């Protein structure tokens, strides 16, 4: 066992529902007791020190300790093409994404990028990712293998698409089912790996493939299902052309049994009221991807609309359409976009989205995303004066939230002092 000492922030309630002061607990001189890969206790440091006087102590002074960030929607095969100029989503896919994803047929290349991606995530304080892979089995093996080495929780799955993509990338109905089933048997719930059944989006899957993937999910209901929904208006018009008899984009997935509690839909910018109602009724989740929504010009996500409908929303980088691996930068963009929707989102709410909100969206609450007894010891240590610009503002703060907010608005990987995964220190800032 060991004790991590510092300024500990944990959530008691949802700050979108309860008052901020009733939602967050801050232990100014707190301690986290770790046994194996789990949190055994959280208390004042002195209490833990008295109970366990001989344990190893990792003292982070007055640095802030929170649960590790959770990126609930990203594309690790797009790491190399982040910040590539593209006019619109469909152009960007054809010009950059598809050519890059072809390279993942090479297992060595897949391992190289998986290794790079997870290291970049850890450097930025992200301890769990939900990632799309490519149509290649190699891409799935690579990300899960690298996750195992780091004892990380990773949600991932083979991207399935049998049309409207380059010939070297498309699969077919049979191979998408067979490959996905084989990968589920190989990786799902092995160590901390979680498999996600993954149709890219409706335009790249035939009705037959979507039906087959829906059947596969019925066979393995404890998997997650991840896909894209209503990212751009051009995409929505395309879906209407491909599925003319269906009333809305979401109902395409619903028709093929791909809308359930453990489904998470990326973007969801241009939804109809009937689609919001379906998500609410079925308790499906949404991944908010602010940096990609603005970078590709998709639109402004109305966070409040989903919160008011009790739909779980997690925060996501959507790299490489997104422009940063940093969840701090992602929170910063979330704040700005919320301002455009006349909602001044509180720092506690931003942090909730990046931790507990994302864990709930993936159905992993009580396992990750918060500092509570019995959860995995996935933790980050944050320096609230990591740059001169932040320091000069933070020194004049009159409350804890004024101390934290400059780091959310202007922080980057330099703010991450240390990252812990499964009770082990895996990254230190030098």
User: What is the CATH code of the structural domain delimited by 70-361?
Assistant: 3.20.20.140
**Is pLDDT of 87 > 90?**
no
Fold entry, domain 2-68+370-428: Urease, subunit C; domain 1 (2.30.40)
Q: Which residues contact 8 (CB under 8 A, 6 or more apart)?
A: 26, 27, 30, 31, 32, 42, 64, 65, 66, 371
| pLDDT bracket for residue 91 (50, 70, 90) | confident
Residues whose CB is less than 8 angstroms from the CB of residue 165 and which lie 6 or more positions away in sequence, other chains included: 98, 200, 204
The answer on pLDDT for 337 being more than 70 is yes
Band of residue 365 on the pLDDT scale cut at 50, 70, 90: very high
What are the structural domain ranges in the chain?
A: 2-68+370-428, 70-361
* 288 has pLDDT over 80: yes
pLDDT in tens, 187-217: 999 999 999 999 999 999 999 999 999 999 9
- Kindly tell me if the per-residue pLDDT of 90 is higher than 90: no
pLDDT band at 93, cuts 50/70/90? Answer: confident
Question: Measured between alpha carbons, how far is 85 from 256 in angstroms, rounded to an integer?
Answer: 35
Banded pLDDT at 83 (limits 50, 70, 90): confident
Interval 344-365 mean pLDDT: 98
Torsion of CA 35, 37, 39, 45, to 10 degrees: 60
- Indicate if the pLDDT at residue 86 is higher than 90: no
CB-based contact 235:278 (threshold 8 Å) = no
Asked whether the beta carbons of 344 and 338 are under 8 A apart, the reply is yes
Q: What mean pLDDT is predicted for residues 123-141? A: 98
Over the stretch 30-80, which tens digit does the pLDDT of each residue have? Answer: 999 999 999 999 999 999 999 999 999 999 999 999 999 999 999 999 999
Average pLDDT over residues 286-314: 95
Q: How many CB atoms lie within 10 A of CB 105?
A: 16
Tokens for 328?
A: 């701090």
- 341, pLDDT greater than 90: yes
β-partners of residue 265 are 227, 286
> Mean pLDDT across the chain, nearest whole number?
96
Give the pLDDT of residue 324: 96
Q: Is the pLDDT of residue 416 over 80?
A: yes
Asked whether 96 and 128 are in contact (CB, 8 A), the reply is no
> At 95, is the pLDDT very low, low, confident or very high (cuts 50, 70, 90)?
confident
Query: Are the C-beta atoms of 112 and 78 separated by less than 8 Å?
Result: no
Do you find a cis peptide bond into 224, omega within 30 degrees of 0?
Answer: no
Query: Where do the DSSP E strands lie in 107-256?
Result: 126-132, 153-157, 159-160, 193-199, 224-229
Q: What is the pLDDT of residue 332?
A: 98
Torsion angle of the four alpha carbons 362, 364, 365, 371, in this order, in degrees rounded to the nearest 10: -120
pLDDT over threshold 70, residue 230: yes
How, if at all, do strands 38-44 and 126-132 pair?
unpaired
């Amino acid at each position: 066992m060991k004790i991590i000492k510092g300024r500990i922030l944990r959530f008691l309630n949802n700050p979108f529902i309860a008052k901020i002061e009733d939602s967050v607990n801050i232990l100014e001189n707190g301690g986290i007791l770790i046994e194996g890969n789990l949190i055994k206790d959280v208390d004042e440091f002195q209490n833990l020190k008295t109970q366990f006087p001989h344990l190893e102590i990792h003292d982070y002074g007055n640095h802030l300790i929170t649960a590790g960030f959770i990126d609930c929607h990203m594309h690790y095969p797009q790491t190399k093409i982040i910040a590539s100029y593209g006019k619109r989503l469909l152009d960007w896919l054809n010009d950059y994404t598809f050519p890059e994803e072809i390279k993942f047929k090479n297992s060595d290349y897949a391992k190289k990028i998986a290794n790079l991606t997870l290291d970049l995530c850890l450097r930025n304080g992200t301890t769990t990712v939900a990632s799309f892979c490519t149509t290649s089995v190699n891409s799935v093996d690579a990300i899960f293998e690298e996750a195992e080495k780091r004892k990380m929780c990773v949600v991932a799955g083979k991207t399935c698409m049998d049309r409207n993509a380059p010939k070297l990338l498309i699969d077919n109905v049979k191979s998408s089912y067979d490959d996905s089933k084989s990968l589920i048997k190989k990786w799902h719930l092995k160590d901390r790996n979680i498999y996600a059944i993954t149709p890219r989006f409706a335009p790249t899957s035939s009705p037959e493939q979507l039906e087959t993937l829906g059947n596969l999910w019925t066979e393995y209901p404890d998997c997650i299902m991840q896909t894209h929904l209503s990212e751009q208006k051009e995409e929505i018009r395309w879906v209407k052309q491909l599925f003319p008899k269906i009333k809305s984009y979401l109902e395409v997935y619903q028709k093929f049994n791909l809308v359930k509690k453990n489904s998470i839909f990326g973007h969801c910018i241009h939804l109809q009221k009937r689609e919001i109602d379906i998500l609410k009724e079925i308790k499906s989740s949404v991944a908010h991807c602010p940096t990609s929504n603005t970078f590709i010009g998709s639109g402004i996500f109305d966070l409040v609309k989903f919160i008011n409908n009790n739909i779980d929303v997690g925060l996501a980088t959507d790299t490489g359409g997104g422009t940063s691996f940093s969840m701090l930068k992602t929170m910063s963009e979330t704040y700005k976009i919320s301002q455009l929707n006349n909602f001044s989102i509180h720092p506690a709410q931003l942090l909730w989205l990046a931790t507990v909100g994302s864990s709930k969206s993936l159905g992993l609450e009580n396992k990750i995303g918060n500092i509570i007894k019995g959860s995995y010891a996935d933790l980050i240590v944050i320096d609230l004066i990591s740059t001169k610009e932040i320091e000069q503002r933070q020194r004049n703060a009159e409350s804890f939230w004024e101390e934290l907010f400059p780091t959310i608005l202007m922080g980057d990987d330099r703010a991450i002092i240390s990252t812990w995964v499964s009770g082990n220190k895996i990254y230190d800032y030098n």
